[in-house]
């Protein structure tokens, strides 16, 4: 498992197993408006600005070239061969299992555990996209080493990078919530994020809980000493039990302030932010082969029951084992 595919493996996959119908409808219906990119050697996608007016030509190209990796743009263009005439872009979140900032599994590349972790993060992000932002038409793609969340809700497709970056910060808890209010005497008071059980403070609390409960102690959190880290690990069960106030009391309010600031920065690493804010990104083509790990980039119909080690393994790998 997770071995690099040989040119022979790739040929086998694209001629015997791959079919154009495996590309999700949301891409197939506008192939002629997307830019395609290919990596033929494993050095990165340097064959870009590819344009296919129809499925037939794309099929022919992919079957014939059996690329190391295939990509298509998240954007639609009037002239995709020039990347000109931008029409719209999907909103994308890239959760890569190997880049999760807190990985208790400590593996070098990816393993079952961190793929599960990536899945958990994806589920959290989707809940927020639906429940808080009210977004619909959300697709999940297993990318080979993690997941892509692709949002096709029409209300978001024309949004610019700034709006996307704000959505990103919201869904992953990238800002420490600023919660102040004026009391009856006119004094400004502050509330802690864990005291507000809805909206962004709730999202931030959930993401922070996730990070703190998954720390293995080796991570560096800005402005947090080794000693404090040990204390955090010692008392984090209080957070598991939702006793944030007590936890804050034990580690001290000033340290707590520094901790959540550092955690917000770790939250930002839950996804690859560059992918979300880039309107002209190319992403792995669902149905294509991630040759580095020999897994199929797969559209996920049901996240809960999806198991990449069962549902995204190509036949040539199964045959080998």
Partner 1 sequence: MISTFFINPFSQEAKKIVKANGDLNKIIEENERLLNIIEYTTGQILDDDSKIPGSLWELSIKRIEWYLEKKNRQRYQPGYYRFLFNPKIAKFDVITFHILAQAIGAKFNPNSRESRIFIESEGEIVKERILRIEHQIRDDIISKILRELLNCEKPHWIQLEKLLENRRIKLTELILNDGKVILDKSAPKRIQQIINPIRENIIPALIMQETQEYLHKVHEMAAKIEPHPILVELADKIQEKISQEFFIPKKTGPGTIKASKLDFDAFPPCIKNTMKGVKAGNRNDAIVLLLTSFLSYARLYPAVFKERKPHKVSDFDPTLNITLNEILPIIYEAADNCEPPLFQDDPQEKLNITAKLGFGLHETPKLENEGESKWYTPMSCEKIKIHLPILCKPDNLCEKIQNPLTYYNRKRWQKKKEKGDKDIPGSNTKR
Binding stretches for partner 1 (CB under 8 A): 131-135, 155-156, 159-160, 162-163, 166-167, 169-170, 174-175, 177-182, 186, 191, 195-196, 198-200, 204
Shortest Å, Cβ 248 to partner 1? 17
Shortest Å, Cβ 84 to partner 1? 14
Residue in 31, 22, 17 with CA at minimum distance from that of residue 66? 17
Q: Which one, 1 or 191, has the nearer CB to partner 1?
A: 191
Q: Which one, 78 or 136, has the nearer CB to partner 1?
A: 136
Active-site residue set: 94, 96, 272
Shortest Å, Cβ 130 to partner 1? 8
Shortest Å, Cβ 86 to partner 1? 13
Q: Which one, 185 or 319, has the nearer CB to partner 1?
A: 185
Q: Please state the φ and ψ torsions of residue 272, each to the nearest 5 degrees.
A: -85, 100
Q: Which one, 176 or 312, has the nearer CB to partner 1?
A: 176
Q: Which one, 9 or 90, has the nearer CB to partner 1?
A: 90
Q: Please state the φ and ψ torsions of residue 269, each to the nearest 5 degrees.
A: -90, 0
Residue in 124, 130, 129 with CA at minimum distance from that of residue 205? 124
Shortest Å, Cβ 91 to partner 1? 12
Q: Which one, 198 or 254, has the nearer CB to partner 1?
A: 198
CB 260 within 8 A of CB 193: yes
- 95-99: which pairs have CB atoms within 8 A and are 24 or more residues apart? 95/121, 95/122, 95/125, 95/146, 95/147, 95/148, 95/149, 95/270, 95/271, 96/143, 96/145, 96/146, 96/272, 97/145, 97/146, 98/145, 98/146, 99/146, 99/269, 99/272
Shortest Å, Cβ 249 to partner 1? 20
């Amino acid at each position: 498992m997770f071995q690099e595919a040989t040119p022979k493996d790739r040929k086998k996959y694209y001629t015997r197993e791959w079919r154009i119908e495996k590309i999700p409808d949301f891409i197939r219906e506008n192939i002629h408006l997307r830019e395609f990119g290919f990596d033929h050697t494993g050095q990165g996608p340097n064959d870009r600005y590819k344009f296919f007016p129809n499925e037939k030509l794309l099929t022919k190209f992919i079957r014939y070239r059996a690329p190391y990796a295939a990509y298509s743009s998240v954007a639609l263009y009037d002239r995709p061969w020039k990347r000109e005439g931008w029409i719209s872009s999907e909103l994308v979140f890239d959760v890569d299992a190997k880049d999760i900032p807190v990985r208790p599994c400590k593996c070098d590349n990816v393993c079952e555990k961190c793929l599960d972790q990536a899945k958990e993060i994806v589920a959290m992000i989707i809940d927020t996209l639906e429940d808080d932002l009210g977004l619909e038409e959300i697709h999940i793609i297993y990318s080979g080493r993690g997941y892509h969340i692709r949002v096709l809700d029409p209300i978001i497709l024309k949004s610019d990078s700034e709006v996307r970056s704000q959505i990103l910060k919201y869904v992953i808890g990238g800002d420490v919530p600023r919660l102040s209010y004026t009391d009856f005497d006119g004094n400004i008071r502050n509330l802690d994020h864990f005291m507000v059980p809805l909206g962004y403070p709730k999202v931030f609390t959930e993401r922070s809980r996730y990070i703190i409960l998954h720390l293995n102690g080796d991570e560096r959190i800005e402005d947090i000493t080794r000693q404090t880290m040990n204390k955090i690990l010692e008392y984090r069960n209080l957070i598991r039990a939702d006793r944030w106030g007590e936890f804050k009391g034990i580690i001290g309010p000033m340290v707590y302030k520094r901790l959540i600031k550092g955690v917000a920065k770790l939250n930002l690493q839950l996804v690859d932010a560059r992918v979300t804010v880039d309107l002209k990104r190319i992403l792995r083509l669902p149905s294509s082969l991630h040759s580095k790990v020999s897994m199929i980039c797969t559209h996920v119909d049901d996240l809960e029951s999806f198991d990449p080690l069962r549902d995204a393994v190509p036949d040539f790998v199964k045959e080998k084992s």
